[in-house]
Amino acid sequence: MMSYTKDEIMTATDMVRNFSTVLHSVSKEKKRVVIVKNNRFEAVLLPIEAYEKMSEAVTILEKIYDSSKKKSDG
């Protein structure tokens, strides 16, 4: 399980009340915000660059997995 610092965690209510400020902070400081609802981690707000890098990494890993699966099946 990942760990988060106290300043990365925000309740859903606080997120709604401060969305513009939080969005600006995330995009400028390049950090994440974990959104908590009913005492459970529900979502993460990331800068678009971080999301795109993760998406590209997943695509590459899926190709590697598919390639290795085909080799083991053949």
pLDDT, tens digit, 9 for 90 and up, residues 18-50: 999 999 999 888 789 999 999 999 999 999 999
Predicted TM-score (pTM) of the model is: 0.76
Mean pLDDT of the chain: 92
**Once rounded to an integer, what is the mean pLDDT over residues 58-65?**
93
**Once rounded to an integer, what is the mean pLDDT over residues 48-59?**
95
pLDDT at 74: 63
Check whether 15 has a pLDDT greater than 90. Answer: yes
pLDDT band at residue 70 using 50, 70 and 90 as cut-offs: confident
In this structure, are residues 32 and 50 in contact, taking their beta carbons and an 8 Å threshold? yes
